[in-house]
């Protein structure tokens, strides 16, 4: 049965490949106001790269993100132990402009696809920042773990994991979220998290299907919530 499926799929794929490809990203401008161009991460598979080669390319990165991938200043994110696929997607969207950042845009522009994979693999392989001692009764923890149903805030842990170290994954035949593209949040600086949530909320960062989700999530948060969450995540 599966071989028949393969044959049929191949035959059909051959037919379709000979036709102009329909890109979801180039969605009809006439449709509902959605961001004009975004990368569809829904089919993104986990990436692989050569960590050694990434190391060789990492000298420039270390200037801000630290030699061990731990940022030298709070306005930069930690990269150590981050999901490789997340890192790769960020570099890609920084390069193609779907995520805009004055510094990183330039940095990513020079990178080849292989470079981006290698760098992502390298930073992913570094030991993450050790767990901190987050305040267990804070408003931040409340939002991170439970959300706030009275205001429509979903709990962050659903996608980012109960400790901010990645989502809990279960086996299933159903279509699954691209878990590997979801970032690990724990230990990121409050400043960085605040900026990121602000960018998602305002739509400044909306270049991926994941960003479209975060847009909705971040819009439910008030300034005080963001403050509390950022503090909580930084100490996770």
Binding site for another protein (CB under 8 A): 1-2, 4-5, 8-9, 12-13, 15-16, 19-20, 22, 24, 26-28, 30-34, 40, 42-43, 145-147, 149-155, 157-159, 162, 167-170, 172-179, 209-210, 212-213, 215-217, 219-220
SS3 39: strand
Rounded Cα distance between 206 and 36, Å, is: 10
* Beta carbon nearer to another protein, 66 or 162: 162
Residue keyed to tokens 């061990």: 68
- Least separation in angstroms between residue 33's CB and another protein is 6
Spell out the residues 6+ positions from residue 173 whose beta carbon is closer than 8 angstroms to its own. Answer: none
Specify the length of the chain in residues: 236
For the bound state, the minimum distance from the C-beta of residue 138 to another protein, rounded and expressed in Å, comes to: 17
Minimum CB distance to another protein smaller for 38 or for 88: 38
Q: Please say whether the beta carbons of 173 and 72 come within 8 A.
A: no
Q: Which is nearer to another protein, 20 or 130 (CB)?
A: 20
C-alpha 64/C-alpha 71 separation (Å) is 6
Number of Cβ atoms within 10 Å of the Cβ of 231: 19
Minimum distance of another protein from residue 154's CB (angstroms) = 5
Which residue, 130 or 170, is less far from another protein as judged by CB?
Answer: 170
Least Å distance, CB 14 to another protein, is: 12
DSSP 73-98: STTS---TT--HHHHHHHHHHHHHTS
Which residue, 38 or 76, has its beta carbon nearer to another protein? 38
Shortest separation between residue 5's beta carbon and another protein, angstroms: 4
Encoded tokens for 147: 């959300």
Nearer to another protein, 189 or 209 (CB): 209
Q: How far apart are the first and last CA of the chain?
A: 49
CB of 167 to another protein, least distance (A): 7
Which residue matches tokens 């890192």?
87
């Amino acid at each position: 049965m599966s071989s028949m499926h393969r044959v049929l799929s191949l035959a059909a794929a051959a037919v379709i490949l000979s036709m102009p490809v329909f890109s979801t990203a180039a969605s009809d401008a006439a449709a509902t106001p959605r961001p004009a161009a975004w990368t569809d991460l829904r089919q993104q598979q986990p990436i692989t790269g050569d960590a050694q080669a990434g190391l060789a390319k990492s000298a420039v990165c270390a200037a801000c993100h630290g030699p061990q991938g731990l940022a030298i200043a709070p306005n930069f994110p930690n990269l150590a132990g981050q999901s490789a696929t997340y890192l790769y997607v960020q570099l890609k969207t920084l390069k193609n402009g779907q995520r805009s950042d004055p510094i990183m845009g330039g940095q990513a522009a020079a990178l080849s696809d292989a470079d981006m994979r290698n760098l992502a693999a390298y930073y992913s392989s570094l030991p993450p920042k050790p767990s901190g001692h987050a305040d267990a009764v804070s408003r931040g923890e409340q939002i991170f773990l439970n959300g706030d149903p009275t205001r429509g805030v979903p709990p962050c842990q659903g996608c980012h994991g109960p400790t901010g170290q990645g989502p809990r994954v279960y086996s299933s035949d159903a279509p699954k979220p691209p878990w590997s593209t979801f970032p690990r949040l724990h230990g990121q600086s409050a400043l960085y998290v605040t900026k990121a949530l602000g960018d998602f909320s305002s739509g400044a960062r909306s270049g991926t299907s994941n960003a479209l989700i975060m847009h909705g999530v971040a819009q439910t948060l008030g300034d005080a919530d963001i403050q509390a969450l950022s503090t909580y995540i930084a100490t996770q």
